[in-house]
Amino acid sequence: MSILDFAKSELDLIGMGEDSAEMNVQMRKHLLHMVEEFSKEGHSGFSAGYAVNILEKLLKFEPLSPLTGEDSEWNDMSDSNGGKTCYQNNRCSRVFKDETGAWDIDGKVYWEWYEPEDGSEKFKSYFTNFKSRTPPVFDIELIKDSILSLLLPAKLSTGSLGNKNLGFDVLTAISLKKGLPLTPCIPEYLV
């Protein structure tokens, strides 16, 4: 079975067949076109996975390398924020900063059970809100050794991620480097 035949079969199973609603028919057409184009590249099992991982990030407008926090990565959004200082990262649009520091608006995703009024089966509903903000982790290599030596224990090397407190120290170092106030906030996954 070719990858194109496999894709058609899988789309049929989720109700995206040739006889489904017009929107699904159009989406099927577009998806099959992309699968067909991808199959023409002649990837092996390894290179296909490698390409798909990178392509997925690109199609989702996600960066392929760590954010740096450098000034060139930010777009001034103050006009859209009622004149209050606000910048949006141009490599990862869910990351913002202001005079208090930087945050990822999708840092934490919450869920709750949703029970439809029509009595159909309940399901998890996922959402974000103002509590979803977590500090992003920027590229540690860009922080000057002098700042790191003040903030990190001597036993840690620049590239070490073995210490859970490293994320906070990196954010602290970036805040100091950028002249931003310190935020005593540690990303949930680093605690």
Domain membership of residue 64 (yes or no) is no
Do residues 126 and 175 both lie within one domain?
yes
Model-level pTM greater than 0.85?
no
> Helices marked H in 42-165 — which ranges?
45-59, 145-151
Average pLDDT, the chain: 76
What number of other Cβ atoms are within 10 A of residue 23's Cβ? Answer: 9
Do residues 113 and 46 both lie within one domain?
no
Residue 107 per-residue DSSP state: S
> Helices marked H in 14-76 — which ranges?
22-39, 45-59
Domain membership of residue 65 (yes or no) is no
Domain membership of residue 157 (yes or no) is yes
Q: Look at 154 and 137; give whichever has higher pLDDT.
A: 137
So what's the pLDDT on residue 110? 83
Domain membership of residue 153 (yes or no) is yes
How many separate domains does the chain show?
2
Do residues 78 and 46 both lie within one domain?
no
Do residues 134 and 40 both lie within one domain?
no
So what's the pLDDT on residue 139? 58
Contacts 24+ apart (CB under 8 A), 149-152: 151/176
Do residues 96 and 44 both lie within one domain?
no
Domain range enclosing 11: 3-59
Do residues 85 and 178 both lie within one domain?
yes
Domain membership of residue 134 (yes or no) is yes
| Average pLDDT of the residues in 161-168 | 38
Domain membership of residue 130 (yes or no) is yes
What is the per-residue pLDDT across 69-80, written as a single tens digit (0 to 9) for each?
Answer: 899 999 999 999
Do residues 125 and 145 both lie within one domain?
yes
| Average pLDDT of the residues in 30-41 | 96
Spatial separation of the C-alpha atoms in residues 104 and 93, rounded to whole Å: 9
Pick from 101, 35, 89, 80: which is nearest to 62 by CA? Answer: 89
Do residues 54 and 83 both lie within one domain?
no
| Angle of the 3-13 helix axis to the 22-39 helix axis, nearest 10 | 160
Q: Which strand (E) or helix (H) includes residue 5? A: helix 3-13
